[in-house]
Amino acid sequence: MTQLDIDGMFNTRALGDPAWLVRTGAPERVTPEGAAALRGLGASIAVDLREPDEAGPVAHGLPVRSVPIYGRPAPLTGRLEEIYERLLRERGAALAEAVGAIVDADGAAVVHCTAGKDRTGLVVALALAASGASAEEIEADYALSGANVRPVRERAALAIADGLESADRAEILRLHLDSPVAAVRHALDVIADLGGAAAYLAGHGLSPAQIEGLRAKRVGRIGAPA
């Protein structure tokens, strides 16, 4: 992944040359210059992983594919590892739909949630694992998010933690601000227990052609036939 400085966006990085996947935090504050930079990367669609009530108006000009990953309000508390495992075991159809939108994109798919680290991190981990990326590559990418998210989201996270005095404050802040390798490593272990990324995605609706398309995109054969 290549770290990107897109005006009005945060926690943004791209995979591939040309890019086929751009992961980021919420894009509501993107500027006209930032939107132009996305178009310059070949972005053709935004895959929004948030629940409908989380999304606001955007100015990037891309068609939006809404794929709510939680299917319920985003959790304010909880342990990252448990949240990821629950999503993998209960929301496979939504996760596969999001990965399908990435592979079907004509160019680069911009994938985001709110912070761009949890829902986005899980979808990207599945896409990368199914495309043939190593666990080390996936973990290294995931681990970048915490430092990018904290300056933007810390005030909101502290407000949540201070408003939930009965919950564990450190765990709340870890949930909202951190991207510990242990969390994505646990997710990869769960994916392995469920048969591996390609089998998991196929079991939830991706076709063999789409799985091969992920692999082709990762090695730069974006237009290659399946």
**pLDDT computed for residue 165 by the predictor:** 72
Do the beta carbons of residue 145 and residue 118 sit within 8 Å? no
Domain contains 224: no
Tell me, yes or no, whether 156 lies in a domain. yes
> What single string gives the DSSP state of each residue in 10-66?
-S-EEETTTTSEEEES--TT--HHHHHHHHHTTEEEEEE-S-GGG-----S---EEE
User: Does the residue 225 lie in any domain?
Assistant: no
Please indicate, yes or no, if residue 170 is contained in any of the structural domains: yes
Q: What is the pLDDT of residue 226?
A: 33
Name the domain count of the chain. Answer: 1
pLDDT on residue 168 = 87
pLDDT of amino acid 143: 98
Q: What is the pLDDT of residue 175?
A: 96
| Mean pLDDT of each 10-residue bin along the chain, 226 residues long | 95 94 97 97 97 91 97 95 98 98 96 98 98 96 98 95 83 96 98 98 97 92 42
Nearest to 13 by CA among 152, 148, 197: 148
* Per-residue pLDDT at 1: 83
Confidence (pLDDT) at 221 = 55
Residue 125 to residue 223: CA distance in whole angstroms: 22
Token pair belonging to 179:
């991207």
Domain containing 90 equals 2-218
Q: Is residue 226 part of a domain?
A: no
What pLDDT score does 225 carry?
34
Calpha distance 79→168 (Å, rounded) = 10
Query: Are 41 and 20 spatial neighbours (Cβ–Cβ below 8 Å)?
Result: no
Asked if residue 223 is part of any domain, the answer here is no
- Tokens 């979808």 sit at which residue? 123
Phi/psi of residue 129, nearest 5 degrees = -60, -45
49: in domain: yes
Does residue 99 form part of some domain? yes
Residue 62 sits in a domain of what CATH number?
3.90.190.10
User: Can you give the pLDDT at residue 224?
Assistant: 36
Burial of 68 (0-12, 13-18, 19+ CB in 10 A): buried
